[in-house]
Structure 1
Amino acid sequence: MAGDGTVSADPWREAELAGFLLPDQQAHIHERGWLKMLAPRAAGGAELPLPEVVRLEEAIAATDGSLGWVVTLCAGAGWFAGFLPPALARDIMAMPGACLAGSGAPTGFADIDGDDFLITGRWDYASGAPMASHFTLNAVLRERGEVLRDGHGKPRIRAFVVPARQVAREASWQAIGMRASASHAYRIDGARVPASHGFTIDAAHATADGPLYRFPFMALAYVTLAANLLGMAGHFVALAGDLVAARRQHGTGVPLIEVPTVAARLARTREELAADRAALYAALDSAWAAVVRHTVPDEVLLQRVSLQLVDTCRRAVDGLYPYCGLQAAREDAAINRVWRDFHTATQHALLLPD
């Protein structure tokens, strides 16, 4: 890294300009087995303990926001293999370059047609879409054109996994940040999908043994997303510290890092991030231990500490940004990319502030 904060021959800048993770970056992801780390061992996955996975995702996001996001979202979709018929899960994970991308919004329909489903719809924000071998989705069930409803009158929704050959990708991702995540939309027009490709994300319907598939889905989503924001925020704070150390206060010429209020803000930011990081992992480790013991984890606590951490990350990034100077506003500066990635990622629907 150059002294002014810019990066020469930065592969992550190159990926951002390309709008997708580069082939060697994708190859690295597959070589490390990151997309299979939550998939069942019986299906060819690593089935790592969740606390280990979340800490790794934080570290990956600290390297690059798009990289961390794609790994987290696609590995999270790989976790669904624990809810698929075992033979299908093995077939998917055995594919060279296996990668599941998808969307959770039920913006399509699955029409019952004998033993199959005909799926039609359009889904947004499939991170890692260009490298996906399969897409996951939620669809509203219909029979003979009528929406099927549950006992409360709500539309019945089912999750499906569909091979990429049956999916049309749409280059729709135009966000200011996370550009290399290539979180494009995708469309399916009447694809015939066997009933075996449908699944229910619930511990009672897990097809793989082990605590990983008893862990509550929403709690998993909160902690993995929070870890990504933490990784990006930590990266931003480190880069901001370098810029603050290189700047001088206007009018006095005193190094900005020696101005008491600035030094105190930087120290307080680091302390608050460390404290909330410790709280997140304490809650996660406790929840994991509970699931291992076949007891119920504290999902409310996991959601609360995750959102508290995200709020602290927001305040950390926004509080230090003004001290970084115009360098931080340059689009080709590493800190600017981290800033844009961070603020794009915080727009995820689950991360809305109270």
Structure 2
Amino acid sequence: MLNVQSIRENLLNVTYFNSEIIELIATNNWLNIWVPKQYNGLGLTTSEGLKILQTVSKIDGSLGWFVTLCSGANYFSRNLSPSVAFEIFSNQKACFGGSGMIGGTAEKVKDHYIINGLWHYATGAPYLTHFTLNAQILENGQPLVDENNQPKILSFILDKAQVKLIPSWKSMGMVATSSHSFEVVNQTVHKDYSFIYNTFFSDDLVEKIPFHVFADLTLLVNYIGMAEHFLEKSLEIITFSVQQQLDVFLKRTTLELLNYAQQMEELLINNLTIEDILSEEIHQFGTNTVSTLTTYIIQIYPQLGIKASRSNEEINQIFRDFFTATQHRNFR
């Protein structure tokens, strides 16, 4: 049983996760909720994993965001060749994270790549064992193109020893995620540590969900969880009608989100395809949900008095975390 209050006290106004929080994450195997069971992961269904992420996000915004983004990066275990995945995930504390941007180049030299570049916003950078990145492929100094005559891009896994952290995370919220930039200079990576995000070596339902839909749902439960936390703490200060409206909205939205996840799972169980129209509907649902949550929180916050403005108060930290997390491009 999680001691939620103790965890929250541990995470109040901290700039990093201490060893106790890192051990809590490992003990619950939260980073491996999407990792296949054959690699020591939990191999959860989408619905099961989303419930965990929402619960963790309600405990604390930085904790939930770190677990979501890094378990989402550990999802790439499914994209790696089985031998590499077995090697890396023999350590249960393996923790992937990095950047989705194309921040550098990878020069192809026989069976290896030489990687250089700078990438931003690597959630949990100091806690990672491996960094993921996207790079443009070069050969003999010239950019390669794919079958669509577009620049060829590959994703890579690098050991943390190959990466230099650049302390750059100065945001008002999500402080403990330590989402710093990282630089790679002339690091050699074998081709087996490259991957394509929609090519899989496992065969579970979760990887058959389009990755952009998977990303939408996993981020959305963070915003819902943080809003639940905000509502809970605001009720300790004042009670008025808007909070009741937010409570109803949160309960209804959680059910709708899980219904979407279960709807997709049923389609896949029956070997049916998740059509673009459903993917677009889910994305619009997420966009509308974040917009509505934002409106409710902005309505409630000014009623909470001077206490909510103090940076050492939990309600203030939740507010800052929510409005930092919602700057993520998915629902802006």
Q: Is the CA contact (8 Å cut-off) linking 2:45 and 2:206 kept in structure 1?
A: yes
Q: Deviations over 1:70-94 (max 9, x none)?
A: 0000000111001100010011111
**DSSP 3-state at the match of 1:103:** strand
Q: 1:322 to 1:26 in 2, by over 3 A?
A: same
Q: How is 1:282-293 mapped onto 2 (pairs within 5 angstroms)?
A: 282-293=259-270
Give me the whole-angstrom Cα distance separating, in 2, the residues matched to 1:318 and 1:188: 40
Q: How far apart are 1:96 and its partner, in Å?
A: 5.3
User: Among residues 188, 191, 200, which one is paired with 1:195 in the alignment?
Assistant: 191
Q: Percent identity, please.
A: 29
Residue of structure 2 equivalent to 1:250: none
Q: How far apart are 1:294 and its partner, in Å?
A: 2.3
Length-normalised TM-score, structure 1: 0.88
User: Among residues 212, 231, 238, which one is paired with 1:237 in the alignment?
Assistant: 231
Q: How far apart are 1:269 and its partner, in Å?
A: 1.9
Q: How is 1:149-188 mapped onto 2 (pairs within 5 angstroms)?
A: 149-188=145-184
Give me the whole-angstrom Cα distance separating, in 1, the residues matched to 2:293 and 2:270: 32
Unpaired segments ≥5 residues, structure 1:
1-6, 245-256, 258-262
Between 300-309 and 138-147, report the one with greater CA deviation.
Answer: 300-309
Length-normalised TM-score, structure 2: 0.94
Q: Is the CA contact (8 Å cut-off) linking 1:108 and 1:122 kept in structure 2?
A: yes
Q: How far apart are 1:30 and its partner, in Å?
A: 0.6
Q: 1:163 to 1:271 in 2, by over 3 A?
A: same
Residue of structure 2 equivalent to 1:251: none
Question: Does 2:319 correspond to 1:339?
Answer: yes
Give the 4+ runs in structure 1 shifted more than 4 A. Answer: none
Q: How far apart are 1:8 and its partner, in Å?
A: 12
Residue of structure 2 equivalent to 1:324: 304
Q: How far apart are 1:301 and its partner, in Å?
A: 2.0
**DSSP 3-state at the match of 1:108:** strand
Residue of structure 2 equivalent to 1:148: 144
**DSSP 3-state at the match of 2:184:** strand
Higher CA-based Rg: 1
**DSSP 3-state at the match of 1:185:** strand
Q: Is the CA contact (8 Å cut-off) linking 1:277 and 1:309 kept in structure 2?
A: no
Q: How is 1:71-150 mapped onto 2 (pairs within 5 angstroms)?
A: 71-95=67-91, 97-150=93-146
Residue of structure 2 equivalent to 1:225: 219
Residue of structure 2 equivalent to 1:12: 11
Q: How far apart are 1:293 and its partner, in Å?
A: 2.4
Q: How far apart are 1:156 and its partner, in Å?
A: 1.3
**1:137 alignment partner AA:** L
Q: 1:54 to 1:351 in 2, by over 3 A?
A: same
Q: How is 1:296-307 mapped onto 2 (pairs within 5 angstroms)?
A: 296-297=273-274, 298-307=278-287
Residue of structure 1 equivalent to 2:247: 270
Give me the whole-angstrom Cα distance separating, in 2, the residues matched to 1:287 and 1:95: 31
Q: Deviations over 1:162-196 (max 9, x none)?
A: 11111111111110000000111111101100001
Question: Does 2:257 correspond to 1:280?
Answer: yes
**DSSP 3-state at the match of 2:100:** coil
Q: 1:276 to 1:45 in 2, by over 3 A?
A: same
Q: How far apart are 1:280 and its partner, in Å?
A: 1.5
How many matched pairs?
325
Unpaired segments ≥5 residues, structure 2:
1-5
Question: Does 2:206 correspond to 1:212?
Answer: yes
Q: Is the CA contact (8 Å cut-off) linking 1:57 and 1:224 kept in structure 2?
A: yes
Q: 1:9 to 1:157 in 2, by over 3 A?
A: closer
**1:338 alignment partner AA:** I
Q: Is the CA contact (8 Å cut-off) linking 1:279 and 1:305 kept in structure 2?
A: no
Residue of structure 2 equivalent to 1:4: none
**1:70 alignment partner AA:** F
Give me the whole-angstrom Cα distance separating, in 1, the residues matched to 2:249 and 2:151: 43
